[in-house]
Amino acid sequence: MSDTAVTRAVEAIRSATTVTVLTGAGMSAESGVPTFRDVQTGLWAKYDPMTLATTDAWDDDPALVWAWYQRRRAMVQAVEPNDGHRALADWASTADVRVVTQNVDDLHERAGSTDVVHVHGSLFACRCDTCGRAHEVEASEPDGDRVDPPRCECGGRVRPGVV
């Protein structure tokens, strides 16, 4: 990209009053959140998505799925938003900044962004698998590979709020 093109892009960004920013795995990777598809370190290099991230997986072994997502929640809670997250949140003080993210973590919100859409859901927006009621869930490291998910008042199981 030429210096002229970069200068024009910077000027356009500086004068923008409404901005929509799309973020993905690279944004949170800077904070230490592993991506899913990286060949060497990605989560799917170590785990089979069919056993953890499908409705069939939930139906077949909800305790395995719940424990895996509990570990992910605890891992996300242990890291901090990075300069990219903070820059977007700070930008919102001078423009209408909307963040659309594929990430299921809460790092944009913890950095201060208030207009965030999670395309793939959120680790922290759990719901009952029967009635759909929202549930608050503590992020804690599980003791073992399987942990029975909490139960809803209706008797259903509380499931991760991700797609």
Q: Which of 85, 108, 118, 120 is catalytic?
A: 120
- CB of 31 within 8 A of CB of 79? yes
How far, in Å, CA of 18 to CA of 97, rounded?
6
73 by Cβ neighbours in 10 Å (0-12 / 13-18 / 19+) ranks as buried
User: Among 103, 100, 109, which Cα is nearest to 80's?
Assistant: 109
Tokens of 108: 């944009």
In 10 A of CB 132, how many CB atoms?
11
- Give yes or no: 120 in active site: yes
**Beta strands across the sheet bearing 158-162:** 134-135, 121-128, 158-162
Instruction: Please list the active-site residues.
Output: 120
